[in-house]
Amino acid sequence: MKKLSLFIISILMIGLLAACGTATEEGNETSGSEGESKKVLKMATSADYPPFEYIDTAKGSDIIGFDIDLVNSLAEKTGYEVEVQDMDFNSLIPALQAKQIDLVLAGMTPTPERAENVDFTDIYYTANHMIVSLKDNEVKSVEELDGKTVGVQLGSIQEEKAAEIAEQVSLKVENRNKISELIQELKSGRIDAAIIEDTVAAGYFEKDDQLAGFTLESSEEAGSAIAFQKGSEYTEEFNTALNEMKENGELDELIIKWFGGKE
Ligand code: ARG
């Protein structure tokens, strides 16, 4: 009797394990309409960065923006399917290093320090640093930052920019996880200014007429590139597709769609 029930339990366990096996194998692929399956790449972004990536709460909970359109076009060309997830900007590179995700599009600038840990494609868009403040308490030059508190996004190149300015004037630097938090802190007076990229700041100016800003003169540009795991097989494929989009005008179309047409 004992032997029989042990036998039944083993059979059940084998069946269970087999079922789990098939489930995980299927997890990585999706079937297209013709039944062909595409490999799913996990992309992460920090959806606090309109028009690059954001959630338009009025329209739903999907992440939309320039980077999302771009990755979808690139995936189409390279034959992959892309699944997008949201995380703090500061967690993106560690997630690539831990191989939890395959790629990052987050308006991310390919700095030499980052390039030690991840691989980048060519640059697909360039922007400049901007000092954003409130019209009522406007900061019009770097000198005027003296004695002030400036906010930056944690882990961004704007954090380095602030450290650089702090060598010229006396500056207190505060960091926050999200750009929207920087704007809130500015409005509540906890910080006097924030360093944000011009294209992103432009979106906030449109919605909020209390904000003012100026572009940092002769500041080095903040370009965006796609990041992959170090040694990734996908970098080359995506770079080729990206350059194809640069040459055939598709990239310009996306730039006009998301950054153009703003007065
Ligand atoms: N370009 C800057 C950087 O790489 C800022 C990017 C911030 N991106 C975001 N999705 N919040 O540091």
Domain ranges of the chain: 39-126+222-259, 129-215
Measured by CA distance, the residue closest to atom 12 of ligand 1 is: 156
Percent of residues, the chain, with pLDDT higher than 90: 81
CA of 118 to the centre of ligand 1 (A): 15
Q: Which atom of ligand 1 is nearest to the CA of 111?
A: 4
Report the C-alpha gap between 124 and 107 in whole angstroms.
9
68-105 per-position pLDDT tens digit: 999 999 999 999 999 999 999 999 999 999 999 999 99
> Which structure tokens are listed for 145?
């930052």
The mean pLDDT of 32-36, rounded to a whole number, is: 58
CA of 105 to the centre of ligand 1 (A): 10
Show the ligand 1 pocket: residues with CB < 6 angstroms: 46, 48-49, 52-53, 89, 106-109, 153, 156-157, 179, 197, 222
Scanning the structure block, which residue is given the tokens 């597709």? Answer: 241
Q: Which atom of ligand 1 is nearest to the CA of 178?
A: 11
CA of 109 to the centre of ligand 1 (A): 7
User: Which CATH topology does 39-126+222-259 take?
Assistant: D-Maltodextrin-Binding Protein; domain 2 (3.40.190)
Q: Which atom of ligand 1 is nearest to the CA of 108?
A: 4
Could you tell which of 105, 111, 117, 158 is best to mutate to test the pocket of ligand 1, judged by most ligand atoms within 8 Å of the CB? 158
Q: Which atom of ligand 1 is nearest to the CA of 155?
A: 12
Residue 262: per-residue pLDDT = 42
Asked if the domains at 39-126+222-259 and 129-215 fall in one CATH topology, the answer is yes
Directed axis angle between helix 234-247 and helix 250-258, to 10°?
80
Directed axis angle between helix 234-247 and helix 66-78, to 10°?
110
Residues 173 and 166: beta-carbon distance below 8 Å: yes
Residue 219: per-residue pLDDT = 65
- Residue-wise DSSP of 36-75: -EEEEEEEEE-SEETTTEEE-TTT-S-EESHHHHHHHHHH
Q: How confident is the model at residue 260 (pLDDT cuts 50, 70, 90)?
A: confident
Residue of 46, 22, 23, 156 whose CA lies nearest to 95: 46
Distances (CA, A) of 202 to 45, 124, 188, 258, 261: 20, 19, 20, 12, 12
CA of 52 to the centre of ligand 1 (A): 10
pLDDT exceeds 90 at position 150: yes
- Higher-pLDDT residue of 121 and 262 is 121
User: Which CATH topology does 129-215 take?
Assistant: D-Maltodextrin-Binding Protein; domain 2 (3.40.190)
> Which structure tokens are listed for 213?
């800003």
Q: What's the pTM value of the predicted model, to 2 decimals? A: 0.84
